[in-house]
Structure 1
Amino acid sequence: MNAPVKPDAFRVDTSPAPDPAAPIIRFAQIGKTYPSRDGQGAVAALSGIDLDVPKGAIVGVIGRSGAGKSTLIRLVNGLERATSGRLLIEGEDVTGLTEAGWRSRRRATGMIFQHFNLLSSRTVFDNVALPLEIAGTPKAEIEDKVARLLDLVGLADKRGRYPAELSGGQKQRVGIARALATDPKVLLCDEATSALDPETTRSILALLRQVNRDLGITILLITHEIPVIKEICDRVAVIEDGRIVEEGDVFTVLTRPQHPTTARFVEAVTGVELPAYLEGRIRKEARPGDQTVLRITFTGENATAPVISRLSSTIGVDVNILAGRIDAIAGKPFGSLLVSVPTREPELAAVLGALNGLELKAEVIGHVS
């Protein structure tokens, strides 16, 4: 005789399927406060943070010291707990996780530190192997995995060396290999290049981009250096006084900043400095016979097009180039020029009208004789 079928066998799972397009990390109205030093109140480190980190993307959070960026990233591995709001990782609300729950969650999250945090008494191989040993991974598997990771970060020949024998860039490569040991889905970078020289920084950023591209690992990084954002990030959030003041894709935010804090950050990588011989001569008010100094911003196809020569030939106005630069932001060309044109009308109006017709941003810097 057949056993009776339990009603549960007919029960259909009606819970929604995971959304493949959903962000891997979502901050929803996150707030974090600390008790004040005098014990009479609370200090807000984060207030109303809304931020999505798309799966497979490199997202940067930039801000000055004390802006709240370190607190933000520490929430993602449970080193800090939110006071309000919700934090979702892979669709799971982790806001109220116990410490035991966080231990399991951290295995899917790698962390790279500013000052490397390597154990001086362990070799390069043993530093990378440490998280695998803690997880109880078999020795043979550890040997194979660490060897592959050291090859990935370019340190296969340094496996027996100690941290004191390595350069800063090599130490950070060990840190990256160690962070990848547990096959994380998310890599957190806490000012990972701040202690490195510019050339080493570029090599570490190239390695992080390779890790993101080849392994499909999502990267969330915090930094106070706008060149880091420009070099490898897909999206950027600007944080000030514990709030996100601007957020979007890197090219749009860096070429069309909307918030004064963002504008100050990006000026170093998108602006063109006024030549020294003009700094003391430029003035706000125009005088008869003056030239008007314009900063023209080029984006997309216009960044490499001969716009100035076309401008001169089309409207018959002499345009004098004072300074300029062409660069790439998020893989797209971007250019900025300082030029001088006649202040008198109708020439100035013709220049500004032509630039507007070409969809180029023109900003009046001042006037010189």
Structure 2
Amino acid sequence: MVRFERVSRSFAARKGSAAVFALDDLSLEIPRGEIFGVIGRSGAGKSTLLRLINGLERPTGGRVVVDGIEVNALSESELRPVRRSIGMVFQHFNLLSSRTVFENVALPLEVAGIGDAEIRDRVEPLLDLVGLADKRNRYPAELSGGQKQRVGIARALATRPKILLGDEVTSALDPETTASILALLADINQRLGVTIVLITHEMSVIKEICHRVAVLEAGKLIETGRAFEVLTQPRHATTASFVRGVTGVELPADLARRLSDQPSPGSQAVLRITFTGSHATAPVVSRLTTILGIDINILAGRIDTIGGEPFGALLVSVPGDEATRLAVVSAVERLNLQGEVIGYVA
């Protein structure tokens, strides 16, 4: 559906300095009908990637192909119908304060020269879809942040796009509103089959609704794949730092202060055990206790879902002598789980 083939986007630097690359030799494929997340810190190239999809920016190298059309090879007039097939939702809503909810959603249809009757036939179902039918005659100043974003989503869908681009669509919202907007986007994806591309700096957004994810750093693609696999088995240090906050389990503060890299006589080894899929709800501790015949102390744990698939993490302590420690790790692996010793506590 969307394909980047060795795409670079550079900007001229000060005299005597090398060009600055917002994207550097990036190759990426976004499948049709999926929710695809792009995550990275500020300056990673996320916004540039999004703007290349709808032709608001042109690559300095490589090809951007959308639905079989090489976007960067089109003239401005040739780009117009392509852009109508690509909706855009903004971080700060970009609503016109002098127009009602209905009129804001209708705006792209008016610009396209569509008649009043067809505009009404398109806009009213969209207001129902985003839950704002009762707000059709309200103005943006009368709406909450979440309601404004719902207007923005309805407006982006007005031209019946094949692709919906989201530019940090939840970063200006509180957690509860964020959850409702993400649920709405997931519903839209399922009902309408629209491909959704979200750029974000929040891994929680990726965890909640994305099927696949790409991780950018300094304009380069450092990791990509199914969201579940990237979040549960990150291969790059930058990805791991993003993931830690949404899939990790923290030690209680008093234990964290006493954690040491090396064992001491009588110390306990602290293990992190991670489990996925059908293993996420298995009685892991009781099985290990039965297999090994030792006491296992649970320190912390969580069970969550990533893209609808269960994922769990558990911190436990066991006797810290080498023989017991190796036996526990071996037993964890025999149960098809992942286990690692993260330190020792007296």
- Post-superposition CA distance 1:74-98 (Å, at most 9, x none): 0011111100001111111112211
Correspondence 1:285 to 2:256: no
**What do the CA deviations read for 1:265-321 (whole angstroms, capped 9, x no partner)?**
000011001111112211111111110001111111111000110110111011110
Tell me if structure 2 keeps the 8 A contact 1:120–1:164: yes
> Contact 2:54–2:71 at 8 Å: present in 1 too?
no
- Whole-Å Cα distance in 1 between the matches of residues 154 and 323 of structure 2? 63
Question: CA–CA distance in 2 between the matches of 1:230 and 1:37?
Answer: 40
Instruction: Check the 8 A contact 2:52/2:59 in 1, yes or no.
Output: yes
Cα shift readout 1:313-368 (whole Å, capped 9, x = no counterpart): 11101111000000011111101011000111422221111011112111211111
**Deviations 1:222-254 (Å, cap 9, x if unpaired)?**
000000000000000000000110000011000
Which one of 244, 261, 272 corresponds to residue 249 of structure 2? 272
**Matched ranges for 1:1-369 at <5 A:** 24-38=1-15, 40-369=17-346
Counterpart residue type for residue 36 of structure 1? A
Q: In structure 2, how many angstroms separate the alpha carbons of the residues matched to 1:309 and 1:323?
A: 16
Distance across 1 between alignment mates of 2:259 and 2:309: 32
Partner secondary structure for residue 251 of structure 2: coil
2:59 aligned counterpart, secondary structure: coil
Larger Rg: 1
After TM superposition, the score normalised by the length of structure 1 is 0.92
**How far 1:40 sits from its partner (Å)?**
4.3
Are the counterparts in 1 of residues 227 and 306 from structure 2 also a CA contact under 8 Å?
yes
Q: Which runs of 5+ in 1 are unaligned?
A: 1-23
Give the distance between the partners of 1:95 and 1:363, measured in 2 at CA: 47
Deviation at 1:38, TM superposition (A): 3.8
Letter paired with 2:124: A
Q: Is the 8 A contact 1:317 1:351 kept in 2?
A: no
In the alignment, structure 2 segments of 5+ residues that lack a partner are: none
What is the CA–CA distance in structure 2 between the aligned matches of 1:345 and 1:161, rounded to whole Å? Answer: 68
Q: Is the 8 A contact 1:311 1:351 kept in 2?
A: yes
What SS does the corresponding residue of 2:228 show, helix, strand or coil?
Answer: helix
The one-letter amino acid of 1:217's match is V
CA contact 1:303–1:326 (8 Å) conserved in 2:
yes
Identity %: 64
- Letter matched to residue 43 of structure 2: G
User: Which one-letter code corresponds to 2:305 in the other structure?
Assistant: A
Aligned residues: 346
**Contact preservation (8 Å) 1:291, 1:368:** yes
Per the TM alignment, residue 39 of structure 1 is displaced from its structure 2 partner at its CA by 6.5
In structure 2, C-alpha distance between the alignment counterparts of 1:188 and 1:125, rounded to whole Å: 21
CA change 1:37–1:160 in 2 (3 A) is: farther
RMSD after superposition: 0.9
- Structure 1 runs (4+) greater than 4 angstroms displaced: none
Could you list the per-position Cα deviations for residues 4-62 of structure 1 after superposition, in whole angstroms to 9, with x for gaps in the alignment? xxxxxxxxxxxxxxxxxxxx100010000001134744111101111111000000000
Measured in 1, the distance between the counterparts of 2:326 and 2:273 equals 15
SS in 2 for 1:346: helix
Distance 2:66 2:179 in 1: 29
Mapped to 1, the partners of 2:322 and 2:181 lie a distance apart of 52
8 Å CA contact retained: 2:329, 2:340: no
> For each residue in 1:187-218, what CA deviation from the matched residue of structure 2 results, as whole angstroms up to 9, or x when unmatched?
00000011000000000001101110000100
